[in-house]
Structure 1
Amino acid sequence: MSSPIILITGANTGLGLETVNSLFRSSRKYTVLLGGRNLDKATAAAKQVKKEYTQSESVVIPVQIDIEDDASIEKLKERVEKEFGRLDVLVNNAGGQFDQQLYKGALGMREMWNKSWDVNVTGTYILTHSLIPLLLKSSDPRILFITSGTSTLTETTNLAVPVNKSPDQKGWPKDVATFNGLGIPAYRSVKTGLNMMMREWLRVLKEDGVKCWAVSPGMLATGLGTGDPEFLRKLGALEPSVGADFVRSVVEGDRDGDVGLAVRKAGVQPW
């Protein structure tokens, strides 16, 4: 069999792009489908990867994929089937944090909540559903769902985590500034939903030998949500490459003993 075919959605920036870079740093050879909503941006990102890792035997191919667009999903499926005949690893990285758009007045409340679910859960489910036939043609099919450390219900009592702290003042409305820009109820909720979705795929594909995980890469200094990596660094965020190397470790089998769980670098993340 040729080198593993890996599709990473939302891969022209942030954690997705760093995951592509991490795979290119591996001693193993991969064919990486670098997915982006905008093909020009995906192409530019792929060129940069090739330029930076000239010694790597891996191959990167830019592909257009918008998980909010069913036609885009179907077109990608047809391309992968025609060019490769299978898919070995699906990294469901594409997602978004839209809570701040509500605070800024860019989105209404219902619009923000609906978009959060549509992008992070519904779109991810439909893409995965569409690609299952190609994954089942792999000898070692793997599906990674990128979750968040803020999604754990068990750890919401940990007040050392800023998003778990309650506002100081009584009354309504609450001051958004109280949350230090980290009031993210929609994002947390949809990532918790994503964890259950992973469990559903594990259940449905049990007899097919498909390995599934929810992968929690940690708080990373990317443009997710706030659009301000430096702000996140001040809060203790790690460099995106750290999270990307962890994602790669799951791809390469380091967490095969934790199939069906939410995993993070330090172990298993509680539900």
Structure 2
Amino acid sequence: MDKTIVFITGANTGLGLETVRSLLRSSTPYTILLGGRSRDKAHAAVQLLQAEFPNTATVVTPVQVDIEDDDSIENAFNYVADQYGRVDVLINNAGMSFEIVFNVGVIHHREISCSHEYILGSQFDPQMYSGELAMRDMWNKSWNVNTTGTHILTHTFVPLLVKSADPRLLFITSGTSTLTESDNLAIRLNQSPAKGWPKTAPSISAYRSSKTGMNMLMREWRRILSEDGVKTWCVSPGFLATGLGGNAERNRQLGAIDPAIGANFVRDVVEGARDQDVGKAIRWDGVQPW
């Protein structure tokens, strides 16, 4: 119980899993609560990590939590409160992206478990997308996961966070969320598609706007918890070579960096390297403009 207790959502894959690996490599021992929507996948991730790090002093425990499900969040809170009594670091990593292509008035989508940066400038074949989701449902779901669900989970766990001697609250944001840089035409995502309708260029308007909303959510939690000494950030880990967007190797060819780099950045924030930037959206090389 003297170890720093880290609770990270969406940690059975992607950046979340890499962040747990990074913490396992740290010289500081932790108690890590590995959150996953699926209990089985969370358990499988813990077993994988135990095999990779058999001699670690850090303890990793699976926790089932679905940030779209209030009962799941409450059950996770009750478990953590009963077993540990506090949380020192809460990392809001769970999120969702919906890649959409407008095609004859129908929105095709591919739902992706999102823990890291969106592919900037990638082109997608509509045949990659499966299923259909109405535009209103897609927008509502994007905000429900990335902003509303994140807020509800944070609100639920704050009573445990404020019991810590050094509480830290991290929100994993996106480079696509910055309003200031949305005019940067060097980023293909910001370029206007050709004249005419329908548009066939990829769009992530719902995802990036929900992450912009989450940035403001972080600022609100910074205000609310300032007198409680909670250090709060949005962490923008960069464009990572993961399966987010369809193909990790293609992402790497487009210039994506090793996911471990983003994970090490998150660990650095946990371990105090960016305490001078509390209340801001941060990148590994500086502060991300709003």
Partner SS state of residue 140, structure 1: coil
User: Aligned equivalents of 2:46 and 2:246: distance in 1?
Assistant: 22
% same residue: 63
The CA deviation at 1:75 is 0.5
Kept after mapping to 2: 8 A contact 1:201/1:212: yes
| Match status 1:270 vs 2:285 | no
Match of 1:217 among 215, 231, 237: 237
Q: What is the aligned-residue RMSD (CA, Å)?
A: 1.2
User: Aligned equivalents of 1:9 and 1:227: distance in 2?
Assistant: 22
User: Aligned equivalents of 2:48 and 2:100: distance in 1?
Assistant: 30
The aligned counterpart of 1:260 is: 279
**Aligned amino acid, residue 51 of structure 2:** K
Structure with the higher helix share, 1 or 2:
1
**Aligned amino acid, residue 219 of structure 1:** F
Alpha-carbon displacement from aligned partner over 1:189-242 (angstroms, at most 9, x marks no partner): 011000000000000111100010000000112222x23222322221112111
The aligned counterpart of 2:155 is: 129
The aligned counterpart of 1:90 is: 90
Q: Which moved more, 1:227-236 or 1:193-202?
A: 227-236
| Match status 1:99 vs 2:99 | yes
The aligned counterpart of 2:197 is: 172
Match of 1:151 among 156, 177, 180: 177
Kept after mapping to 2: 8 A contact 1:221/1:233: yes
The aligned counterpart of 1:204 is: 224
Partner SS state of residue 100, structure 2: helix
| Match status 1:55 vs 2:74 | no
Alpha-carbon displacement from aligned partner over 1:111-134 (angstroms, at most 9, x marks no partner): 111110011000000000000000
Q: Which moved more, 1:119-128 or 1:229-238?
A: 229-238
Alpha-carbon displacement from aligned partner over 1:125-155 (angstroms, at most 9, x marks no partner): 0000000000010001111000001111111
The CA deviation at 1:95 is 0.2
Q: TM-score, normalised by structure 1?
A: 0.94
**Aligned amino acid, residue 86 of structure 2:** R
Consecutive unaligned residues in structure 2, runs of 5 or more? 102-106, 109-128
The aligned counterpart of 1:6 is: 6
User: Aligned equivalents of 2:246 and 2:66: distance in 1?
Assistant: 20
The CA deviation at 1:158 is 1.6
The CA deviation at 1:11 is 0.4
Structure with the higher strand share, 1 or 2:
2
User: Aligned equivalents of 2:280 and 2:87: distance in 1?
Assistant: 22
User: Aligned equivalents of 1:53 and 1:249: distance in 2?
Assistant: 20
User: Aligned equivalents of 2:141 and 2:249: distance in 1?
Assistant: 26
Number of aligned residues: 264
User: Aligned equivalents of 1:156 and 1:230: distance in 2?
Assistant: 26
User: Aligned equivalents of 2:69 and 2:251: distance in 1?
Assistant: 31
Q: TM-score, normalised by structure 2?
A: 0.88
User: Aligned equivalents of 1:107 and 1:25: distance in 2?
Assistant: 41
**Aligned amino acid, residue 206 of structure 2:** A
